[in-house]
Amino acid sequence: MNEQQDAGGFGEASAEDLAAMAASVSDEQIAEGMNGPGREIALNEIFRRMAEHLNEDRAKSTDAVIHFKILDRPDGGYDHYEVVLASGECTVSNEPAHEPRVTLKIAPVPFIKLVSGRESGPTLFMTGKLKIEGDLMFASQMTSLFRIPRPAAPA
């Protein structure tokens, strides 16, 4: 891992620490952080850790390709990640190569809230902050395939 990938110590922090960090900042602060060089670092770290949070027991019978489109990049585009679930394993790429079973389109602030457990997928979907293309039934079951980090309880 190079220095840019680990800027801000993301690589050294536990998932629970990162969830606590996301819970302690305002939406405006998340938006500001996701509007600069921290965006790529944060997204790469989140997706890099996705395999670590796979619930292998639930995912072992699931074969699926999931595309995430994180919208509102400063250049007007979006970041595109592909998550492949096969035989209880998870691989991630930022160069999608497979036809997805489901595509999730979401802006950066709701995405950070989703992956840190601050908001649920159904809530984001019902409020229009998460757009889903493809298999809606599968999308509704996706959160059970991953362990969403929660902030560690205070000692």
Does pLDDT of 151 surpass 70? no
Does pLDDT of 152 surpass 90? no
State the average pLDDT over residues 58-71.
95
The first and second tokens of residue 79, run together, are: 């970041």
Confidence of residue 7 (pLDDT cuts 50, 70, 90): very low
Mean pLDDT over the full length of the chain: 86
Does pLDDT of 18 surpass 70? no
- Higher-confidence residue of 155 and 135: namely 135
The first and second tokens of residue 82, run together, are: 């592909």
State the average pLDDT over residues 116-136.
94
Domains of the chain are 7-145 (3.30.1050.10)
Alpha helices in the chain (DSSP H): 15-23, 27-33, 38-49, 56-59, 108-115, 121-126, 136-141
